[in-house]
Amino acid sequence: MQGCGDSGCLPDSLPGYQGLRPESIRKFEDAWGQNLPSTKGLVVTEMVESIGKSEGIKAMYITGENPLLSEPDLNHAEKMFAQLDFLVVQDIFLHETAQIADVVLPAVSYAEKDGTFTNSERRVQRIRQAINPIGQGRADWEIISELGVRS
């Protein structure tokens, strides 16, 4: 969770835990050359609730998460996920959510990739690849980057 906040992957903040204030939004819009929304995004539970609604979520791309095991009401989550038009799961496990996905993209474990990890004490730790990826697995950033190039 710490690394998500550092990199701006939380629904209510920009990178570096900068809130969705007009001056922060402008700073990132200028740097990235893109318009950004001024309202917060949805947390997973809110995303699940929006599935099936007329303006709700129709497709999901889930990385390193298993909402059909982590959501508070699993029966409700299963019913909601069944209404998605398209589901992609990128993970190292064929868990409950991956089993119902339309597409599963094979990620790699921590031992198969280089990078950093931010622990709950907010310490950034360097991770070095210990073994070569097994099978067709690739690092998360590689998969997402390749999809961006192809789109």
Domains of the chain: 1-41 (no CATH), 42-150 (3.40.50.740)
User: What are the tens digits of pLDDT across the range 25-70?
Assistant: 999 999 999 999 999 999 888 999 999 998 999 999 999 999 999 9
Positive or negative, the CA dihedral 81, 82, 84, 88 is positive
**Most confident range, picked from 5-9, 60-64, 116-120:** 60-64
pLDDT band at residue 151 under the 50/70/90 scheme: confident
pTM: 0.85
Write the single-letter amino acid at 139.
Answer: A
The DSSP letter of residue 39 is S
User: What are the tens digits of pLDDT across the range 139-149?
Assistant: 999 999 999 99
- pLDDT for residue 100: 98
Q: Mean pLDDT of all residues in the chain?
A: 93
User: What are the tens digits of pLDDT across the range 83-113?
Assistant: 999 999 999 999 999 999 999 999 999 999 9
pLDDT band at residue 120 under the 50/70/90 scheme: confident
- pLDDT for residue 137: 94
Q: With a cut of 80, say whether residue 75 has pLDDT above it.
A: yes
